[in-house]
Amino acid sequence: QLQLQESGPGLVKPAETLSLTCTISGGSISSNNYCWGWVRQPPGKGLELIGSIYYSGSTYYDPSLESRVTISADTSRNQFSLKLSSVTAADTAVYYCARQACADYIWVEFYYFDYWGQGTLVTVSS
């Protein structure tokens, strides 16, 4: 049974970098046709896609966050990570990691999310 677990600080100061890691168990980050992504949800609001990565290194970032986001994968540890720089209070949210169906054609196409972690609340405050 695939399980995803987010880890990282629950409190980040404004202007600093938010860093989270997702540990995958019961599956491999190097699986063909599966990507690994981050989705966040501000308190009381809807879902916001942050970005995703394929084990080959191909990434997708939402245009609204692209200038501040880096997603990386560590195949040896079966983990992937999120870094979001220059955070403000607007980045306060529950952050979910998730497995994403995708297809590796000429380029990687990113699809829907079929397994999710439980989520972790990150608060941006001084």
Partner 1 sequence: EIVLTQSPGTLSLSPGERATLSCRASQSVSRGYLGWYQQKPGQAPRLLIYGASSRATGIPDRFSGSGSGTDFTLTINRLEPEDFAVYYCQQYGSSPLTFGGGTKVEIK
Residue 101 touches partner 1, criterion: CB under 8 A: yes
Q: Which residues pair with 97 in a beta bridge?
A: 38
Q: Which of 10, 43, 63, 67 binds partner 1 (CB under 8 A)?
A: 63
Taking the CB of residue 35, how many other CB atoms lie within 10 A of it?
A: 30
Residue 3 touches partner 1, criterion: CB under 8 A: no
Q: Give the β-pairing of 59-61 and 93-104.
A: unpaired
Q: Which of 17, 25, 111, 123 binds partner 1 (CB under 8 A)?
A: 111
CA atoms of 37 and 19, how far apart (whole Å)? 14
Site residues for partner 1 per CB under 8 A: 39, 46-49, 60, 62-63, 96, 98, 101, 109-114, 116-119
